Structure formats: C-alpha cells, structure tokens
Amino acid sequence: MPKHIAALALLLSGFASALWLIFAAGSGGLVDHSIENSRRFLADFQTTTRFVRTFHTTRGRLPRNEELSGWSRDNVRSGEPLILAPGDGQYGEDAVAAVGRPPRGEYLLGMWRGEWMEYYAPWSGQSTLSFDRGAYYLLGSQSMDVLVSGVVTLMSISGAWMVWKRRRSVTPNA
C-alpha cells in the first residue's frame, strides 16, 4: 500500500510541474502584454503629472480626487489616477513604502491595476511598474522556468514509475 501512495504522490507532483511547464512555455505573450500595459500606465502617470502641475500652478492647490477623476475620464486609458498623501489610509502608506516619502509640497499618484495599486512619484519619476521580463517569472526567466519544471516533471514521473515497478522483497519462511 505505501508503494501505491508514494507512486501516486510522485505522479501528482509530476502532473503539477507539467502544468507549470505548459504555463511557463506559453507565458511569453502574457509577459509582453503586461509590460506593454505597464508602459501605458507610465504614460498615463506622466500625463496626469502634467495636468496636476498645471492645475496647481493656475489654482494654487492640488486637484481633489473628484476633479482628477473628471479630467481622467477623457485623458487616461489605464485607470483612474488618485492623488495620495502619506497618511491617506493604507494606500498612502503603501505608496510611501514603495516609492518613498514625497518632499514637502509634492504628492504621490496611484492607479488601480485590477489586482493591486501601482504608484508613481512625480518628483523622481520612480514607480512600482516593472518593465523587466524576469520579474514576471518564478525563477527570473522563461527558459529557467521551463527547464526546471521540465526536469522536475521528468524526475517525478520517472520516480513514480520506478516506485511502481519496484518489487516487494519476499523473505523466505524459516
């Protein structure tokens, strides 16, 4: 009985790593799409920064999020930008942790990406956006993800086969 459990466990781990192999092998297009989406977010952050600076210069204050929201409907493609200040709840503190505390008179921008917030620091141009392909892979590159998951798949399946085929040792009756 333990032989069957061991073989099944190895077979299941082989199946799981085979699924990861298939995902990793086909994920290049998804990564390219994510990077292109990050470029759109960066362009929208930069466009929003120009709007906020012009608004601040002409009115002597930063726009309220409602004013920014109204402007962004016609000018931003990626999402709805928010002006975040340190202490503005979780988002403000997350932004400070990600891109640094703004100098006096500056602000942070944030935009919801669908599952998480992206942040942008207008004074430095720093953001949480990733343009590095390696950041989207478990092991830092598509080829390493494919190679390692392929090896794990082969080892798991061959291990299951070896365990299954192993003969039980029979001890002669004395």
- Whether the Cβ atoms of residue 121 and residue 102 lie closer than 8 Å to each other: yes
Which amino acid does the sequence have at 63?
Answer: P
Answer yes or no: is 165 within a domain.
no
Answer yes or no: is 67 within a domain.
yes
Give the chain's domain count. 1
Answer yes or no: is 45 within a domain.
yes
Tokens of 141: 């590159």
The pTM assigned to this predicted structure is 0.69
Answer yes or no: is 160 within a domain.
no
| pLDDT tens per residue across span 61-78 | 889 888 988 998 889 888
Distance CA 5, CA 12 (A): 10
Answer yes or no: is 88 within a domain.
yes
Answer yes or no: is 161 within a domain.
no
Residue 91 is predicted with a pLDDT of: 61
Through-space distance between the first and last CA atoms of the chain, rounded to whole angstroms: 25
| pLDDT tens per residue across span 112-129 | 888 888 999 999 999 999
Answer yes or no: is 167 within a domain.
no
Domain that holds residue 119: 28-133
Residues ≥6 apart with Cβ < 8 Å to 153: 14, 17, 18, 21
Answer yes or no: is 7 within a domain.
no
